[in-house]
Amino acid sequence: MPGFLFFLFCFLASLVTISFSSDILTSTQTLLTNQTLVSPSQVFALGFFSKTNSSWYLGIWYHNISDGTVVWVANRDNPLHNSTGFLTIGENKNMVLTTPSGDPVWSSNITKANNPVLQLLDTGNLVLREADVTDPTNYLWQSFDYPTDTLLPGMKMGWNLDTGVEKHLTSWINTGQDPSSGDYSFKIDPRGIPEIFLRYQDKKEMYRSGPWNGERFSGVPEMQPDTDSIMFNFSYDNHGVHYSFSIGNRSILSRLVVTSSGQLQRRTWVPSSNTWTTFWYAPKDQCDGYRACGSYGLCDSNASPVCTCMRGFRPRNQQAWNLRDGSDGCVRNTDLDCGTDKFLHVEDVKLPETSTVFANRSMNLQECEALCRMNCSCTAYSNIEITNGGTGCMTWSGELIDMRLYPKGGQDLFVRLAASDADDTRSADGSHKTNHTGEIVGITISAAVVILGLVVIFFKRMKVLSISNVKTAPRVSFQRSRELLTSDGLFSTNRENSGERNMDDIELPMFDFNTLTMATDNFSEANKLGQGGFGIVYRGRLMEGHDIAVKRLSKNSVQGVEEFKNEVKLIVRLQHRNLVRLFGCCIEMDEKLLVYEYMENRSLYSILF
């Protein structure tokens, strides 16, 4: 009988328009499946949704985005099996989701409340609070404490070490289709110096962020402070460890999500194209894979093969190493002798896993070295943070695992070696280098003479050209294109980032790879225009709305960087009003891309034939 009366009440309520504040639900009101709560500035909405028409969920999504991107789900593992459900504040003052027969499907599960109300905030946080309390620290319950697959600005993931409560992200079982708990999780490991791990089925490590170094994670050198108004925060002490981010510009919508395919993505909304673009993602290459080169191995995505043993080490399994499998790692050439050991300085590295390190925040680097030298089991040491020239001390006592090299932005690591291995002539990554001072001086002098001669020839030639009457044709169209594309600082035409970008005398805009990734929505199949023997062409749109065509050359091509440069020079020289314009190019790591003007009506071939 009670169940029937409840059903009758809800049925009658559905026939009457319930009057309640658009963002607040009181204890006398019911939210039906055809109703929503909308945050005060209409950023988020709370209501019922279904991706399959057979399972219904209570969730939060962006209110003004057409695709209804869901960011939180209450009953993700216990769906309603029809389109009728009711959200109320029950007799025990809990927020309760029930079926038509009154059976509870999900509850906020609090223990004490007097006169609670439910409110959806502009941050996307759903809170249960006392009606006369607005202090965020006094919320009875909040959805930010129970994240699903998405981290929103202001939401924290991590550990409360006093209570043992932990918050992490878990993927959908099928992103965009089924919000049930999936196989991948992104969770902070609080041991040692905390790091964040992407794991499969909570067991197999897929990716490691590296420790926080005061500015960013050691394994994310591109994670620059205040990037596009996105600010990152990582805090830990004896009471807890938490990671969050915030956005200074409220017009920017950004979220961190774990996908069902096992990828961590930062997605940013582009209003001009009404699409989410991938601002950053991981793992993005072989070296991002956990323990790709095993213990004492260094992974370098710009090298071939990617795995090398650092100086003083050799492959543990030479046969597997020769077959490009470095997962077994490396072993020492010479056993350590505590009294005579030295330390190898490895630069621009992702620090090894830190779950078992010893840490002291008050020590400097010199004190850290002395501590490690006295402890014969210490295998390496480093600063904890890079701010203020480097502060704190952490030391490793076991094998060093999951390291990779970066062109720039990595950290300094000091690895213990036997004296005989530390004194050889190889670099930190094990490659051979000579150090002959006489040869260096001779080469330097010779180079100076050659450069001086070239300077003299250059000025003589300029003098001849200055008095000639030869006129060159203007490059108005190309210059106009260049001015258009270089607006808003999307990319730089200078050559400060990489030696590979030195294009000699050609002043061609150089695109950043992340810019092209965002423009093409991570080179999605939906943007694919065509494919040839040398690569795939994608349609893209830059942040300010300009359409481009991006030719991504195949990584299997035998064409090297110099050959690629020569090809770009040739295309630039062939600029013509009847030919598609080349706007720029990109050379980063093993990626080589050409950026062309996008032709709306396809090619001249399709018109003639």
pLDDT digits (tens, 9 = 90+) for 329-374: 999 999 999 999 999 999 999 999 999 999 999 999 999 999 999 9
* CA separation for the pair 281, 276 (Å, rounded): 13
Least confident of 346-360, 524-538, 570-584: 570-584
Which pLDDT tens digit goes with each residue over 195-223? 999 999 999 999 999 999 999 999 999 88
By CB atoms closer than 10 A (0-12, 13-18, 19+), residue 165 is: exposed
Give the mean model confidence (pLDDT) for residues 566-576. 71
Residues 6+ apart with CB under 8 A from 83: 33, 48, 50, 56
Which pLDDT tens digit goes with each residue over 71-90? 999 999 999 998 899 999 98
In the 8-state DSSP scheme, what is residue 242?
Answer: E
Which pLDDT tens digit goes with each residue over 374-402? 999 999 999 999 998 999 999 999 999 99
Q: For residue 123, what pLDDT band results from cuts at 50, 70 and 90? A: very high
* CA separation for the pair 96, 103 (Å, rounded): 10
| Beta strand extents in 93-227 (DSSP E only) | 95-98, 104-107, 116-120, 126-130, 141-142, 150-151, 157-160, 165-167, 169-174, 178-189, 195-200, 204-208
By CB atoms closer than 10 A (0-12, 13-18, 19+), residue 225 is: exposed
Helices H, strands E: what count in the chain? 9, 39
**If you average pLDDT over each of 81-85, 109-113, 501-505, which comes out highest?**
81-85
Q: For residue 435, what pLDDT band results from cuts at 50, 70 and 90? A: very low
Annotated binding site: 551
Q: What sign does the dihedral 267-269-274-280 (CA atoms) show? A: negative
Q: For residue 498, what pLDDT band results from cuts at 50, 70 and 90? A: very low
- For 52, 79, 105, 507, the CA distances from 56, given in Å and listed in that order, are 8, 5, 11, 57
* CA separation for the pair 444, 59 (Å, rounded): 67
Token pair, residue 406, equals: 């970066």
Task: Answer whether residue 430 shows pLDDT above 90.
Answer: no
Q: For residue 424, what pLDDT band results from cuts at 50, 70 and 90? A: low
Which pLDDT tens digit goes with each residue over 278-316? 989 999 999 999 999 999 999 999 998 999 999 999 999
Token pair, residue 518, equals: 């965002």
Task: Answer whether residue 3 shows pLDDT above 60.
Answer: no
Q: Provide the pLDDT for residue 446.
A: 59
In the 8-state DSSP scheme, what is residue 310?
Answer: P
Task: Answer whether residue 45 shows pLDDT above 50.
Answer: yes
* CA separation for the pair 346, 357 (Å, rounded): 18
- For 46, 47, 71, the CA distances from 68, given in Å and listed in that order, are 11, 11, 9
Q: Provide the pLDDT for residue 593.
A: 87
- For 509, 534, 568, 599, 607, the CA distances from 578, given in Å and listed in that order, are 21, 23, 18, 12, 14
Give the mean model confidence (pLDDT) for residues 541-551. 85
Closest CA to 148 of 173, 128, 131, 130: 173
Annotated binding site for ATP: 551
Token pair, residue 322, equals: 């020769």
Task: Answer whether residue 485 shows pLDDT above 60.
Answer: no
Give the mean model confidence (pLDDT) for residues 452-458. 64
Token pair, residue 90, equals: 């029950």
Q: Provide the pLDDT for residue 467.
A: 40
